[in-house]
Amino acid sequence: MRNIFLFIRTHFNLLFFLFLQVISIYFIVNYSKYHQAAFGSITNNFTGKINAKYNNVQQYFHLKQTNDSLIKANELLYNKLSSNFEIADTAKKIATDTVMVDSIKQYRKIRYISAKVISNSITLLSNYMVLNKGMNDGLKIGMGVVDPNNAVVGIITEVDDKFAVVMSLLHKDSHISGKLAKGEETGTLNWDGSMVNYITLTGIPKSAKIAKGDSIISSGFSTALPKGLKVGYVDAIFKETSTNLFKIKFKTATNFFNVQYVYVIENVDQEGVNKIMSKIKTQP
């Protein structure tokens, strides 16, 4: 207490001057319209900068929540794409009491299910990723998987109630069918383990017109991946000496270094097609 009084006594003139300054500013601001406006502008500018900094910090801590909401929003948008529907066959008519019944109603063919990647390997010959959704969410073995940009990631190979395992394109046994977007020549995708995000496309005839930067898309020859999904872009073209085919090295459209969210593709025709194919395989 003694030190406080000593401080006031030592700096009395300065403190009294500051006190009078505060009183003066108070009277000026309260009784002068011009100074009120000027002071208000200064305080608004200052508080605005403080609020902006606070909002930036707040947004940073809510990034996960924002990402999750964006993924759900994209899922809804993907499921509304016209390419996910097909029009009923209008050549088919049903007769009931001599009344012809027909419809051009659209039926859903493709549905997208969002999921989060909780594990992902990229440096092995056999690379997999694990998703945080499983059979309880409608996931099944054989479903295709794409990234948020609708680029091919891989195929689901294992699934339980809560989780699913995806064989990514970076797997030695992944032989998904792909085609050139321009000429539509079809080949097979192969991973040799040499470089992450770079895969080879084989089986393309030398008569095909190919240039660096050309797009490679999914062929649509399986129920797992619809035709036209992005797979990658041509990086280098090699002529195989012993065959009449090209060997094409391309960069994947999916960046496997930072895949965090994906969409699983549910094809409503997949189960029916698989049953027919299994019957054919069991026939002698």
Q: How far apart are CA 203 and CA 244, in angstroms?
A: 9
pLDDT at 25: 72
Q: How far apart are CA 63 and CA 73, in angstroms?
A: 15
- Give me the mean pLDDT over the 108-115 stretch: 82
pLDDT at 88: 45
Please report where in the chains the tokens 């994209």 appear, as a residue: 74
Q: Is residue 165 within 8 Å of residue 130, measured between CB atoms?
A: yes
Instruction: Tell me the chain's radius of gyration from C-alpha atoms.
Output: 32
- pLDDT of residue 174 exceeding 80: yes
- pLDDT of residue 77 exceeding 70: no
Using one digit for the tens of pLDDT, what is the confidence trace for 213-247?
999 999 988 878 988 999 999 999 999 888 999 99
- pLDDT of residue 270 exceeding 70: no
The answer to which of 21-25, 123-127, 166-170, 219-223 has the lowest mean pLDDT is: 21-25
Using one digit for the tens of pLDDT, what is the confidence trace for 7-62?
777 777 887 778 877 777 776 656 665 555 555 555 545 555 565 555 555 555 55
User: What letter represents residue 44's amino acid?
Assistant: N
Q: Is residue 189 within 8 Å of residue 175, measured between CB atoms?
A: yes
| pLDDT tier at 168, thresholds 50, 70, 90 | very high
Q: Is residue 78 within 8 Å of residue 111, measured between CB atoms?
A: no
- pLDDT of residue 105 exceeding 60: no
Nearest-CA neighbor of 118 among 254, 260, 265? 260
The top-scoring range by mean pLDDT among 43-47, 50-54, 80-84, 259-263 is: 259-263
* DSSP-derived secondary structure letter, 162: S
Burial class, 6, CB count within 10 angstroms (exposed 0-12 / middle 13-18 / buried 19+): exposed
pLDDT at 3: 74
Two structure tokens written together for 232: 């990658």
Collapsing DSSP to helix, strand or coil, 33 comes out as helix
Two structure tokens written together for 171: 């797997």
Q: Does domain 111-282 have CATH number 2.40.10.340?
A: yes
- Residue ranges, CATH 2.40.10.340, the chain: 111-282
Nearest-CA neighbor of 42 among 50, 225, 89, 1? 50
- Give me the mean pLDDT over the 151-180 stretch: 94
H helix and E strand count, the chain: 5, 16
pLDDT more than 70, % of the chain: 64
The CA-based dihedral angle spanning residues 181, 187, 193, 196, taken in that order and rounded to the nearest 10 degrees: 10
pLDDT more than 90, % of the chain: 45
